[in-house]
Amino acid sequence: MDFDSFLLAASTPDLSVEPAAREYADAIEFRMDLASDGLTALSAYDGALPVLVTNRLKREGGEAPDTAQRLSELRTAIEHPCVTAVDVELSAVRDGDTASVRTDAREQEVSVVVSTHDFTGTPPRSEMCRLLSAASEYGDVAKLAVTAQSRGDVLDLLLVTRELTARGDAVATMAMGELGRHSRAVAPLYGSRIGYAPVDPASATAPGQFDLASLRDLVDRLAGDGPPSASGTGSSAAGAED
């Protein structure tokens, strides 16, 4: 999966929404932890959009238990030709649990997103830098989602995003919650490489998400690219400030 510029992922546990996502999204984030039978769904998938597979741990806001089966499902998932990226949690990486997943991903030429989530607040800038730097050591993209308690939290996140981008790291950042909602549209201007949104706002997988069409429109307008293209690939927001 190409993370050289901003990529908008339609986040969903239901791959059947891909035709509706195709106009606006660059990829599908398939939430296997929220799907009833993720591997069967992947086997049947014949959509045009590439897939980023996520089997999110409960402690990171998902539904997947911390078991060997969770990782086995990820290893099987990345064998599918449609899967071009996989998400693993920084906490699991540090526990030594994801080494086989990351090794298999490299062999399959599947990109690795290493993620961490804070559902209680926004750490100090130094801690956010440390988390993203640590994730960058293990993955192609370091993802950090925090919860904004103030506008200042969003500003701190954007400063960190810009700092690490200028350093050459590929990062994806967002502030969850209503106070941080605008970060999802603004962060790409500071270098954030991935945005997430549901096709239907009622199916949001994280607090404060815009629906897919709205986020595509906001990102493209802020980047100066005009209305979304039919292919959903009109944005180059990650490089807009360079």
**CATH number for 57:** 3.20.20.70
The catalytic position among 58, 80, 117, 182 is: 117
Strand ranges in 55-129 using DSSP code E only, listed in sequence order = 83-89, 111-117
- The verdict on residue 180 lying in a domain is yes
- Supply the DSSP string of 58-77, one letter for each residue: GGGTSSB-SSHHHHHHHHHH
Residue 2 lies in a domain: no
pLDDT computed for residue 194 by the predictor: 98
Residue 138: how many other CB atoms lie within 10 Å: 16
- C-alpha distances out from residue 58 to 61, 89, 157, 166, 215, Å: 5, 11, 24, 33, 26
Within a domain: residue 229? no
The residue annotated as part of the active site, out of 58, 80, 143, 182, is 143
Tell me the pTM.
0.89
Is 1 a member of any domain? Answer: no
117 is catalytic: yes
102 vs 95: CA distance, rounded Å:
14
pLDDT recorded at residue 64: 95
- The verdict on residue 128 lying in a domain is yes
Entry field: residues in the chain: 242
In a domain, 53, yes or no: yes
Between the CA of residue 55 and those of 16, 63, 71, 203, 213, what are the distances in Å?
A: 18, 8, 8, 17, 25
Determine the Cα–Cα distance for residues 103 and 204; give it in Å rounded to an integer: 31
Range(s) of the domain holding residue 58:
7-224+234-238
Per the CB < 8 A criterion, the answer to whether 192 and 170 are in contact is no
pLDDT at 201: 76
From residue 15, alpha-carbon distances to 27, 28, 216 in Å are: 11, 8, 19
> How high is the pLDDT of residue 224?
84
The whole-number pLDDT of residue 232 equals 45
- Taking the C-alpha atoms of residue 64 and residue 56, their distance in angstroms, rounded to an integer, is 6
The verdict on residue 37 lying in a domain is: yes
d(CA 42, CA 194): 22
What's the domain count of the chain?
1
User: Which residues are 175's β-sheet partners?
Assistant: 146
Check residue 225 and give its pLDDT: 64
Judge whether 146 lies within some domain.
yes
Show the low-confidence residues of the chain (pLDDT under 70).
225-242
Indicate if 143 belongs to the active site: yes
Predicted pLDDT of residue 238: 40
